A and B are shown apart, each in its own frame.
Chain A
Amino acid sequence: MDVELIRLTKRYGGTAAVDGIDLKIRSGDYCCLLGPSGCGKTTTLRMIGGHETVTSGDVVIGPRAVGDAAPSERGTAMMFQSYALFPHLNCRDNVAFSLKMRGIGKAERRTKAMAMLDLVQMSHLAERLPAQLSGGQQQRVALARALVTGPKVLLLDEPLSALDPFLRVRMRTELKRIQKELGLTFIHVTHSQEEAMALSDLAVVMNGGRIEQAGTPRDVFERPASAFVAKFIGGHNIIALPGEAPIAVRADRMRLGAQAGAAARPARIVSVEYQGSTVHVGLEADGMSEAGPLTAILDDDAFAANPVALGETVPLGWDAEAAHRLSA
């Protein structure tokens, strides 16, 4: 189902946590709300799910504005950050909880719960208590519990942040698989740009209660709308030449030495970090950047062909078409 936010606002006392945002999420899209902590992304998610009252504006899910409807009447389901699995119920009963609340008979709700546990490959541990499961397993159960209500929109609050990096990548793939398989709309809150890039059809970068940019991950990465987005999404240098509007240049489009071009400026190398397939070179150039050193990412063969060393001064430039003008 489509989800649309219209002038959505949440105020706590005098401060606006979410400040009149507009957003349209198409049915079946994987949408990531991305931003630093305190940017309003979680509050937005909770307003969509009905766990936070709306100060003004509307949440429209499918054909109707949901207003103050209870969470279970919205066609949404939420997966909480800490999973919030009920510690006194085993996996099967956790998943069957919503069915029990609706008065569905024991046999039927158990069958349905087991089918859901199958989907997340957890049916073999159905009798276990949450405390007897690993983080990744708990997450699968929480996912099954949210999906068993048959939601059209799944809301995920930092679902991967409690997992170790290896598991995070695996569960990420899993989330995407289930989302595509069921054809649901997923709205996923994260502070990791890597996660948002990997998962989303629609990446929404938030800051200070507002949306800085919403678009496909490629859009956001290729054409960051603001210096904030360029910084937050990473992999960019923000260059402010005197008397010119600031531009963003992808770190892998920076050029050193002979390839630096006519407009090159001298820069001092302050760090060289070998990363395997690439080498990250940190550079300081007078009058180019206010926010610390610039980064150039070079292919390892390119670096090996023209190595540079710490402390050297080299010409620094970039491909002309890689310069992207920023609005602010």
Chain B
Amino acid sequence: MSDRPRGPAFYVLAAFFAGFVVFLYGPTLTILVLSFQGPQGGLTFPLNGVSTHWFSKLWAGVGVVDIWAALWRSLKLGLVVMVLTVVLAFFAGLAFRKHFRGEGALFTTAVASLIVPSIVVSLGIGLEFRLLDDAMKAAAAATGWGWLQDHGTLMGLYSSALGAHLTWTLPFGLLIMFAVFNRFSPAYEEAARDLGATGGQTLRHVVVPILAPSLVGVALFGFTLSFDELARTSQAIGGRNTLPLELQGLTTTVTTPEIYALGTLTTAMSLAVIGLALATGLWLEKRKAR
């Protein structure tokens, strides 16, 4: 550290950074504070007393909407998306390292879906599934099979919504794995082969353990992207909504700080997921050092 006096650049940059932090976390903090609004308080400041009134109301249920079921659906979908993102991105990253004909075109195709507007992707998925449903109905009519007749729509949490989320998380996962493999020396795999490890053993005992922290990162990223996702899900969800979709619906119908309590809870959940991931990372480090 130098003991020269700090120049004006330091103060300008510090002020800029402070502004950035306020802009980043200010809204969340406002919601956090307002969620503890007193029972007589409204949607805006000032605080009319401090209470956990709105949390208990939330616990009792928000009108006709089953918010806890929506939360549970979002969690489950997030976990499935997370696992698929990690597995597919990892193996895609491995494949791209081998180099093959048309790899540039394939990579561009995979990543370009990020620049297609989310709502368009969602509409497209919705239309695709309508076509599939029509085809199924036609098949049901033609064959007369009962089990086909009873099928309503193919759209659902683990079909159209899952696909919609993967269009969002996979390109990001792939980009991260590219960066990860860029820094991963092939000498480790060569050494493993030299020491008699098979391909499978090399993956299991060398590549995956070395990359474990990065894989946890991809998992975390995949989960949070899915847990937050709104636009891509909107037209592709089928009958039962995810939490963000329910929240969006509530903003137009709920006029009490209950919605803030819900916001605080979901934020806490995201933080818990990140905390869990960091703890896992630390635990892995510890195990390594043992």
Contacts and interface: CB of A to CB of B under 8 A. Distances in A.
A101 B288 contact: no
Contact of A86 (B193, B196, B210, B289): B210
Interface string A99-136: 01110000000000000000000000000010000000
A149 B191 contact: no
Given A97-B195, A97-B205, A87 B190 contact: no
A129 B185 CA distance: 18
Given A82-B187, A129-B288, A149 B196 contact: yes
Question: Is chain B's interface secondary structure helix, strand, loop, or mixed overall?
Answer: helix
Contact of B185 (A77, A84, A102): A84
A37 interface: no
Contacts of A77: 194-195
B197 interface: yes
B188 A86 contact: yes
A102 B201 CA distance: 10
Interface string B173-207: 00000000000010110111111111001000110
B209 interface: yes
Contacts of B201: 101
Given A88-B209, A101-B205, A129-B289, A71 B188 contact: no
B191 A80 contact: yes
Max chain A CB contacts within 10 Å: which of B187, B194, B206, B289? Answer: B194
Interface string A290-324: 00000000000000000000000000000000000
Given A87-B210, A88-B210, A88-B288, A98 B187 contact: no
Interface in A12-57: 49, 51
Given A101-B201, A129-B289, A72 B210 contact: no
A82 B185 contact: yes
Contacts of A97: 192, 195, 197, 205
A101 B191 contact: no
Contacts of B188: 84, 86
Interface residues of A, number: 23
A84 B195 contact: no
Contacts of B197: 97-98, 101
B210 A71 contact: no
B187 A84 contact: yes
A86 B206 contact: yes
Contacts of B212: 88
A80 B190 contact: yes
B30 to A, nearest CB: 44
Interface in B39-92: none
Interface in B202-227: 205-206, 209-210, 212
A56 B107 CA distance: 35
Contacts of B193: 51, 70-72
A88 B195 CA distance: 16
Contacts of B209: 86, 88
B190 A51 contact: yes
A102 B210 contact: no
Interface in A60-75: 70-72
B195 A145 contact: yes
A82 B187 CA distance: 8
A101 B188 CA distance: 15
Contacts of B190: 51, 78, 80, 84
A28 B198 CA distance: 30
B287 to A, nearest CB: 9
B195 A98 contact: yes
A48 to B, nearest CB: 12
Contacts of A72: 193-196
Nearest to B195: A98
Nearest to B212: A88
Contact of A98 (B185, B196, B288, B289): B196
Max chain A CB contacts within 10 Å: which of B190, B195, B201, B205? Answer: B195
Interface string A145-168: 110010000000000000000000
A71 B196 CA distance: 7
B211 to A, nearest CB: 10
A304 to B, nearest CB: 50
A70 B201 CA distance: 15
A141 B226 CA distance: 44
A78 B194 contact: yes
A148 to B, nearest CB: 9
A82 B190 CA distance: 12
Contacts of B206: 86
Contacts of A80: 187, 190-191
A103 to B, nearest CB: 10
Nearest to A82: B187
Contacts of B210: 86-88
User: Would you list the 6 A-B pairs with minimal beta carbon distance, nearest first?
Assistant: A72-B196, A98-B195, A84-B187, A84-B191, A71-B194, A101-B197
Interface of A: 49, 51, 70-72, 77-78, 80-82, 84, 86-88, 97-98, 100-102, 129, 145-146, 149
8 contacts: A51-B190, A77-B195, A86-B188, A87-B210, A97-B197, A101-B192, A102-B196, A146-B194
Given A72-B193, A86-B209, A98-B195, 16 more contacts: A78-B190, A78-B191, A80-B187, A80-B190, A84-B191, A86-B192, A86-B210, A87-B210, A88-B209, A97-B192, A97-B205, A100-B205, A101-B205, A102-B196, A129-B289, A145-B195
Interface of B: 185, 187-188, 190-198, 201, 205-206, 209-210, 212, 288-289
